Amino acid sequence: MTDHLRATATTNRARRELLAWRNAIFAIFFLSGLSLASWVARLPEVRDQTGLSTQGVGLVILAGSIAAVLGLIAAPPLMARFGARTGMAGALIAVSLGLALIGIGGSALPSIPLIVIGLAFAGFGNGAVDVMMNVEGAEAEREISRTLMPLMHAFFSFGTVAGAGMAAAAAALAVPVVVHLSVIGAVIAVGAIVAVRFVPKRSELGDPAAADERADAASARPWTERFRDGLRVWGDVRLLLIGVIMLGMSFAEGSANDWLTLAAVDGHGFDPAVGAAIFTVFAVSMTTARVLGGPLVDRFGRVATLRVLAATGVVGLSLFIFGAEMWVIVVGTVLWGIGASMGFPVGMSAAADVPDRTQAAARVSAVAIIGYCAFLVGPPFIGFLGEHFGLLNALLVILALMVMAGLAAPAARERSGKPGATGGESDASAAQA
């Protein structure tokens, strides 16, 4: 009886630890979304305070985007050197510092160089934490044996909604930008420090203390050696095909964020209010699909889910591009949002699904770079094509990329048979097959 109670307590404690780990990653995703939306929503006031032109705003944002790509690239060596816990906390503290500098340079002491420095901190921190939180998310869902990445990315969306809402309230109450962004930065820093305490230390992902505790010779290799091994992932054809999935889906999502409203107004002749409403339909559809999508992946697998989503996106884009009636365009927008919803999170899970856990960070970083390049390059490319061929015609490029993503879907097949399956489970599944 005593042994039974002890086993039950151990099981409960393990489950509590797993749930705490999952919730901590939910919080990290939320804080990342909160940081992004908070400063973007106050951008008009920052522009007015500093006298930036539209082109100047674009160049300032570009500085943050470049820093974000550098953060993506730096994430694997940072994780190898400091571990995921310290890495995520440090990255979000850099974001909080960046927000404070943006606030100071955008209102208290108007200074474009100060804003650029702030965006460099915020962009680098968000780029780095993006890789780390996705690696942790993939590890958590592997151990919990449930697909959680779509829901984790939904928490990022929840963070953006919360950030935009609080920014709107701060603007309405005439709260200075520096006060608003400094408070948000402090919340993010404290939240990150608290959240990472519930993330387990794992030597295979670079946590030094875990390596000391386990005294595992393979895990105790120098971090520089682990990093060099991580560079080899770029030669993995399967990983590059997962990158194709990320490219198509990210292109579809990023282009919608920047061009869907204008396509509805300029391409279909709707007024701006209707265009904004149609974009809201897209955002709600995407977020809802991410909230509900995890069980579908568990039920049908990554490959089938991605193929159906790609087909859904193709149908939705076709209806949006070629539709004439309002209801057709709205239905197309809903299907577009659903189709583009889970390519990024499912691609992250697939990239991290490898037996050698030391490769997980480098693989996630690689596909994240591909995905974020689509976010960065896609919108201006669509704008260039739209200028010469019309915005609706330019969206045909997304259609082609979604088809490519569907064709590349087999690369995302579960290596362990299901999320979180152990090697023994995988072997048993193979034997049954």
Do 248 and 285 share a domain, yes or no? yes
Least confident of 23-32, 58-67, 399-408: 58-67
C-alpha to C-alpha distance for 94 and 78, rounded to whole angstroms? 14
Rounded average pLDDT over 104-119 = 88
Do 278 and 311 share a domain, yes or no? yes
pLDDT at 360 over 60: yes
In a domain, 247, yes or no: yes
Give the model's pLDDT for residue 403: 93
C-alpha to C-alpha distance for 103 and 415, rounded to whole angstroms? 46
C-alpha to C-alpha distance for 19 and 140, rounded to whole angstroms? 9
Q: What are all long-range contacts of 104-109, with beta carbons under 8 Å and residues at least 24 apart? A: 104/178, 105/50, 106/42, 106/45, 106/46, 106/49, 106/50, 106/177, 106/178, 106/181, 107/45, 107/46, 107/49, 107/176, 107/177, 107/178, 108/176, 108/178
In a domain, 425, yes or no: no
In a domain, 58, yes or no: yes
Reported confidence tier of residue 264, pLDDT bands at 50, 70, 90: confident
In a domain, 431, yes or no: no
Give the model's pLDDT for residue 319: 94
CA angle 29, 30, 31 (to 5 degrees): 95
Alpha carbon of residue 204 to chain centroid: 23
Cα dihedral sign, 59-68-411-155: negative
C-alpha to C-alpha distance for 163 and 239, rounded to whole angstroms? 34
Average pLDDT, the chain: 80
Rounded average pLDDT over 35-48 = 81
Do 207 and 78 share a domain, yes or no? yes
Nearest to 46 by CA among 35, 57, 55, 32: 57
pLDDT at 122 over 90: yes
In a domain, 424, yes or no: no
Residue 372's domain is classified under what CATH number?
Answer: 1.20.1250.20
| Rg of the chain in Å (alpha carbons) | 22
pLDDT tens for 305-353 read 999 999 999 999 999 999 888 899 999 999 999 998 888 888 888 887 8
Reported confidence tier of residue 286, pLDDT bands at 50, 70, 90: confident
Reported confidence tier of residue 357, pLDDT bands at 50, 70, 90: low
Domain boundary (220, 253, 286) is at 220
Do 327 and 205 share a domain, yes or no? no
Give the model's pLDDT for residue 147: 83
In a domain, 427, yes or no: no
Do 215 and 281 share a domain, yes or no? no
pLDDT tens for 177-199 read 899 999 999 999 999 999 999 98
Q: 102-106, 231-235, 266-270: which has the highest mean pLDDT?
A: 102-106
Give the model's pLDDT for residue 428: 34
Quote the tokens at residue 40: 């973007």
Give the model's pLDDT for residue 423: 39
Quote the tokens at residue 416: 């362990």
Do 46 and 155 share a domain, yes or no? yes
Number of Cβ atoms within 10 Å of the Cβ of 193: 13
pLDDT at 125 over 90: yes
356: Cβ contacts below 8 Å, ≥ 6 apart: none
Cα dihedral sign, 15-296-129-156: negative
Do 148 and 243 share a domain, yes or no? no
Do 216 and 237 share a domain, yes or no? no
Domain boundary (195, 220, 245) is at 220
* 201 three-class SS: coil
Give the model's pLDDT for residue 391: 80
Give the model's pLDDT for residue 51: 82
Better-scored residue on pLDDT, 171 or 180: 180
C-alpha to C-alpha distance for 76 and 401, rounded to whole angstroms? 28
Query: What is the domain count for the chain?
Result: 2
Least confident of 121-125, 171-175, 386-390: 386-390
Do 168 and 275 share a domain, yes or no? no
Do 20 and 139 share a domain, yes or no? yes
Q: Is 215 left (phi over 0), alpha (psi -120 to 50) or beta?
A: left
Domain interval for residue 184: 2-220
Rounded average pLDDT over 46-50 = 82
C-alpha to C-alpha distance for 27 and 133, rounded to whole angstroms? 10
Nearest to 148 by CA among 166, 133, 159, 161: 133
Give the model's pLDDT for residue 59: 77
Q: Is 206 left (phi over 0), alpha (psi -120 to 50) or beta?
A: left
Q: Is 193 within 8 Å of 70 (Cβ atoms)?
A: no
Report H helices in 104-176: 112-144, 149-172
In a domain, 430, yes or no: no
Can you give the pTM of this predicted structure?
A: 0.76
Quote the tokens at residue 406: 């569907």
Do 278 and 180 share a domain, yes or no? no
Share of the chain above pLDDT 70, in %: 84
In a domain, 428, yes or no: no
Do 182 and 208 share a domain, yes or no? yes
